[in-house]
Amino acid sequence: MLEETEARRRILERTSPGSVIWVPLELALDQILAQQIVAVMDSPPFDNSSMDGYAVRAAEAMVGARLPVVEGIQAAGVDLGLELKPGEAIRIFTGAAIPKGADAVIMQEDVDREGDSIIIREGVELGENIRVRGGDVCAGQILSRRGEVLTPARIGLLASQGIPEVPVHSKPLAHIITTGDELVEPGSPLLPGEIYNSNAPMLQTAVIRAGAVGGVSHAVDDPAELREVLVNALAASDLVIIAGGVSVGERDFVQEVLNELGVVTEFWRVKVKPGKPFLFGVHPDGTLVFGLPGNPVSAYVTFSLFVAPVIRRLRGDETESTSVGIGSLSGLAEESMHNAGDRPHYLRGICENGRVRLSGTQQSHAIFGLSRANCLVRLEAGQEVAPGESVPCHWI
**Contact set with Mg ion (CB under 5 A):** 180, 244-245, 294
Contacts with ligand AMP in 168-187 (CB under 6 A)? 178, 180, 182-183
The rounded distance, in Å, linking the Cα atoms of 266 and 282 is 7
Which of residues 253 and 346 has its CB atom nearest to ligand AMP in the complex?
253
Shortest Å, Cβ 218 to ligand AMP: 8
With binding defined as CB under 6 A, does residue 293 bind ligand AMP? Answer: yes
- Cβ neighbours for 380, distance < 8 A, ≥ 6 positions apart: 339, 344
Task: List the beta bridge partners of residue 105.
Answer: 55
Q: At residue 152, what are phi and psi to the nearest 5 degrees?
A: -55, -40
Shortest Å, Cβ 193 to ligand AMP: 10
Q: Which option in Mg ion, ligand AMP, none does residue 49 bind, with CB closer than 5 to 8 A by kind?
A: none
Shortest Å, Cβ 223 to Mg ion: 13
CB of 335 closer than 8 Å to CB of 357: yes
With binding defined as CB under 6 A, does residue 204 bind ligand AMP? Answer: no
Which of residues 53 and 245 has its CB atom nearest to ligand AMP in the complex?
245
**From 17, 214, 294, 369, residue interacting with ligand AMP (rule: CB under 6 A):** 294
- Cβ neighbours for 156, distance < 8 A, ≥ 6 positions apart: none
Q: Which option in ligand AMP, Mg ion, none does residue 243 bind, with CB closer than 5 to 8 A by kind?
A: ligand AMP
Q: CA of 120: how far to CAs of 58, 126, 204, in Å?
A: 11, 15, 65
Shortest Å, Cβ 252 to ligand AMP: 6
Which of residues 211 and 296 has its CB atom nearest to ligand AMP in the complex?
296
- Cα 84 to its chain centre, rounded Å, is 50
Contacts with ligand AMP in 233-262 (CB under 6 A)? 243-245, 247, 249
User: How much is the CA Rg of the chain, to the nearest whole Å?
Assistant: 31
Burial of 378 (0-12, 13-18, 19+ CB in 10 A): buried
Which of residues 244 and 344 has its CB atom nearest to ligand AMP in the complex?
244
CB of 378 closer than 8 Å to CB of 393: yes
Binding site residues, ligand AMP, CB under 6 A: 178, 180, 182-183, 195, 197-200, 243-245, 247, 249, 293-296
